């Protein structure tokens, strides 16, 4: 009688040996760094949400002389005049229209303030807007219409500006002297500390000593990135307790919930002949994004800066060729060649073990 190698009287020890070997090798499997496909956008992008919707504008940057757009699944839709600066995961867009804080839902706009001098509006998933005016910032919820003024008398000769807002109600920004506009420092706010008194809620961020710190983004874990007010706008990461340098000349513009950081910088400015490069920091490793693009759009050339990254790893940025916006879509990572060799070796070993265990009666 011939006993098949799949017979349970013979196979479990062999099968178990192979399974154990697989479990031992899987943690060692190395994948190549994520690669990207490049897509040209017809506008300058400013933000991307976790559904892959991209917003941006064309024009001078003034809300009265610019046209805003939203891109979704390859289709670009005009939102009319205005400058859009933020989009949440519900697809609600925030920005400035006719010099007034505004949000767009299903391409319909709603004003939430009076005309004045505004620099930007951010929105999170709970519908909270962070509105920056010439005299400071305030928070306003589009559902409850509740307003919290951040430029109160408690600041004592300072003005607060919110530059980063996350989904959990945490935000970061800068404090300026109200009279001179001199940056004091980057500041961090946790909504859960609201009852402790306003000044105690702001925690000084690290950065370049004596030159301040400007936060640019904050992820859902409350980790902020930003730059120092030095000549090269050197980048920093702040985790709520301490700051870590990203090196001279690297300005980070966003960080996602996985801790991936994107930005633009002059790290190799002199080595590249004065060319700025979009970069990504992933697993604590720095990469020039241009070196990771496998499929170039024929209308594009060099990605100068990356502005935002969502939790799926999609990146938006700016390309110097034709002054175009760009979307970078990740390609599924593939194993390194050495990993293929290890897998083939394991398969050969398993096949040899199976042949040795065959029993013929």
Q: What is the pLDDT of residues 195-250, one digit of tens each?
A: 222 333 334 444 444 456 778 999 998 888 888 766 667 788 887 667 788 887 88
pLDDT for res 209: 41
Pinpoint the alpha helices (H) of 163-269.
198-201
> Quick check: 188 pLDDT over 80?
no
3-state secondary structure 280-300: EEECCEEEEHHHHEEECCCCC
**pTM for the complete prediction?**
0.77
Q: Give the mean pLDDT of 51-72.
A: 89
Q: Classify residue 84 as exposed, middle or buried by CB count within 10 Å of its CB (0-12, 13-18, 19+).
A: buried
Residues 236 and 213 sit within 8 Å (Cβ to Cβ): yes
For residue range 5-61, list pLDDT tens digits in order: 333 444 555 555 555 454 454 444 444 578 999 999 999 999 999 999 999 999 877
> Quick check: 340 pLDDT over 80?
no
Structure letter (DSSP) for residue 98:
T
Which domains does the chain possess?
Answer: 33-333 (2.130.10.150)
Q: Which of 103, 96, 97, 42 lies closest to 71 in space, CA to CA?
A: 42
The dihedral over CA atoms of 175, 82, 50, 261, expressed in degrees to the nearest 10, equals -40
pLDDT for res 194: 32
Q: How far apart are CA 250 and CA 264, in angstroms?
A: 6
């Amino acid at each position: 009688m011939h006993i098949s190698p799949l017979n349970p009287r013979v196979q479990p020890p062999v099968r178990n040996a192979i399974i154990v070997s697989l479990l031992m090798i899987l943690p060692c499997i190395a994948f190549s760094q994520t690669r990207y496909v490049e897509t040209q956008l017809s506008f300058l992008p400013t933000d991307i949400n976790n559904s892959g919707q991209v917003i941006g504008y064309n024009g001078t940057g003034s809300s009265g002389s610019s046209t805003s757009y939203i891109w979704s699944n390859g289709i670009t839709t005009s939102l009319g005049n205005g400058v859009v600066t933020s989009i949440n995961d519900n697809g609600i867009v925030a920005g400035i229209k006719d010099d007034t804080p505004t949000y767009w839902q299903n391409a319909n706009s709603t004003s939430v303030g009076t005309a004045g001098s505004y620099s930007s509006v951010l929105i999170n998933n709970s519908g909270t807007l962070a509105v920056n005016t010439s005299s400071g910032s305030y928070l306003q919820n589009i559902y409850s219409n509740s307003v919290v003024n951040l430029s109160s008398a408690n600041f004592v000769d300072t003005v607060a500006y919110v530059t980063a807002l996350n989904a959990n109600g945490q935000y970061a920004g800068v404090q300026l002297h109200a009279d001179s506009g001199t940056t004091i420092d980057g500041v961090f706010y946790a909504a859960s500390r609201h009852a402790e008194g306003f000044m105690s809620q702001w925690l000084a961020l690290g950065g370049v000593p004596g030159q301040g710190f400007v936060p640019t983004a904050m992820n859902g874990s409350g980790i902020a990135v930003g730059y120092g007010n030095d000549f090269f706008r050197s980048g920093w990461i702040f985790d709520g307790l301490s700051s870590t340098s990203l090196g001279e000349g690297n300005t980070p513009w966003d960080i996602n919930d996985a801790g991936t950081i994107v930005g633009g910088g002059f790290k190799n400015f002199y080595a590249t002949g004065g060319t700025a490069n979009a970069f990504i920091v992933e697993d604590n490793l720095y990469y020039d994004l241009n070196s990771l693009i496998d499929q170039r759009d024929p209308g594009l050339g060099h990605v100068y800066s990356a502005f935002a990254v969502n939790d799926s790893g999609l990146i938006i940025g700016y390309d110097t060729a034709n002054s175009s916006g760009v979307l970078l879509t990740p390609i599924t990572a593939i194993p390194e060649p050495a990993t293929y060799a290890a897998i083939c070796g394991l398969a050969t070993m398993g096949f040899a073990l199976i042949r040795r265990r065959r029993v013929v009666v």
